[in-house]
Amino acid sequence: MRFALWGRKRRDRELQEEIETHLTLAEREEMELGRTRKEAAFAARREFGNVSIAEETTRDVWGSRWLGDFFQDLRYAIRTLRQRPSFATVVVLTLALGIGANSSAFSLVDSAFLHALPFHEPERLVHVWTTDAAGDLHTPSPAEYLALRETSKSFEQVSGAGWKRFFYDNAQSSGQSLLGLVITPNWLPTLGINPLVGRNFLDEEQISGREAVVMLSHTCWRTRFHSDPGIIGKKINLDRRAVTIIGVLPQSLGPYYEDIDLFAPLVLDSYKENGEARSGKVRVQIVARLRPGVTLDQARSETEVIAQQLREHRPAADRSGHLVIEDFAETFRHSGPTRQNAQRGMRLTACAATLVLLIACANVASLLLGVALRGTRRLRCARHWAVRAAAWSDSC
């Protein structure tokens, strides 16, 4: 490619020189006819016409040259490959294996490490986990959520979310189960996301009896409601009661909360009422936003105090009920206790895939070498043309 460009530049220079010479010669002749230098130059230019257009059209003649050369090379390559189908198959398969392994490993790494989060100042976002007796991470209980929300000073926002299945009924279909995320009204502000259309939940909508409102994910709005622009205010039948659609969330949320169709209010007072009976089963995913200037360590020590108060009646050696604060992005890379293994595994996979590609290239190179050593046919052909070219240039 560089050679082609270089050749092109040289050709351009030479063309300019050629036309310049033409003008000089014409000018000289006009001067011999008795014109002044200025008149001669003018006459020569007029006779020639537009220089840059002439240059441009000449360049066009050469323009597709390297494309032509490229196609010639391509034809040659295809011919050669067709002459040796088994060789071609082996090379294609080897390279396909190497490239395929690499691209899949890269897409893993890409989704895990390289994608920026579409949230406002994601470095201030944290996830809060609780621990079980074995010290593994789990989603906190509603009590832990409420304690953190009410007493902590390190966080600007502490929001909660939980998974829930909804039964969706409409006139056309016989009823479907939709995946929903029940969220506190501050969940969207914590992430720094605004609904695409409509509004977020209000505080009073997390009280049971007033929570008959729902927001749709972008995908759900597009696929189930055909991107209906007048969707806000419509009522749909969820869990056998009429629920009003109040908003649609932006597409950027998609990759992080995949497969979620609906967002509904997280009703907290039902936890309060049923308190202990349900707290063992219901869990609240906590997403919190650190106050500006508060470090992760400061938040951790404060949270540990809060957790301590909640655990007071339990023995000190008990490893459950510790609140663990984790960088939000980390969680999205891999949630759960095996995340570090997964990360290490992913790096290894990427390295292995690169190695596979290198091995594939080495194999193809040695195959080509073998073919070249045996490929005397082509050499003979090249020699034939070289001899002919030499003979021809001698004769001229």
Partner 1 sequence: MSGQKGYQNRTEILQGTLDMLILQTLQWAPRHGYALSKAIRTNSGEILKVDTGSLYPALHRLERKGWIAAEWKKSEVGPRLRVYRLTPSGTKHLLAERSRWEKVLEAISGVLNPAKNESEA
Residues that bind partner 1 (CB under 8 A): 14-15, 17-22, 24-26, 28, 33, 47-50, 53-55, 57-58, 60-62, 65, 392, 396
In this complex, which beta carbon is closest to partner 1, that of residue 49 or of residue 85?
Answer: 49
Closest among 257, 253, 287 to 127, alpha carbons compared? 287
Give the residue with the Cβ less far from partner 1, 53 or 316: 53
* Among 149, 221, 150, CA closest to 190: 149
Tokens 């508060």 belong to residue: 294
Q: Which is nearer to partner 1, 60 or 276 (CB)?
A: 60
Taking the complex as a whole, the smallest distance from the CB of residue 23 to partner 1 amounts, in Å, to 9
In whole angstroms, how close is the CB of 17 to partner 1 at the nearest point? 7
CA distances for 251 relative to 157, 164, 220, 260, 358, angstroms: 23, 21, 10, 12, 38
CB of 48 to partner 1, least distance (A): 5
CB of 32 to partner 1, least distance (A): 11
HSE, CB side, 13 Å, CA atoms: give it for residue 338. Answer: 3
Closer residue to partner 1 in complex, CB, 36/341? 36
First to last CA, the chain: 32
Q: Which amino acid is at 69?
A: D
Q: Per DSSP, what are the bridge partners of residue 125? A: 289
Tokens 């909360």 label which residue?
A: 257
Of residues 55 and 136, the one with the C-beta less far from partner 1: 55
Q: Tokens 């006009």 label which residue?
A: 30
In whole angstroms, how close is the CB of 49 to partner 1 at the nearest point? 5
- Angle at which helices 85-109 and 65-83 pack, to 10 degrees? 110
Q: How far apart are CA 149 and CA 143, in angstroms?
A: 10
Shortest Cβ distance from residue 61 to partner 1 (Å)?
4
Provide, rounded to whole angstroms, the least separation between the CB of residue 42 and partner 1. Answer: 14
**Pairing status of strand 262-265 against strand 176-183:** parallel
Q: Which CB atom, from 42 or from 62, has the smaller least distance to partner 1?
A: 62
Comparison of 49 and 293: residue with beta carbon closer to partner 1 = 49
Helix (H, G, I), strand (E, B) or coil at 214: strand
**Closest separation between CB of residue 248 and partner 1, Å?**
59
The continuous run of DSSP H or E covering 9 comes out as: helix 2-32
* CB-nearer residue toward partner 1: 234 or 384: 384
Q: How far is the C-alpha of 99 from the C-alpha of 150, rounded, in Å?
A: 53
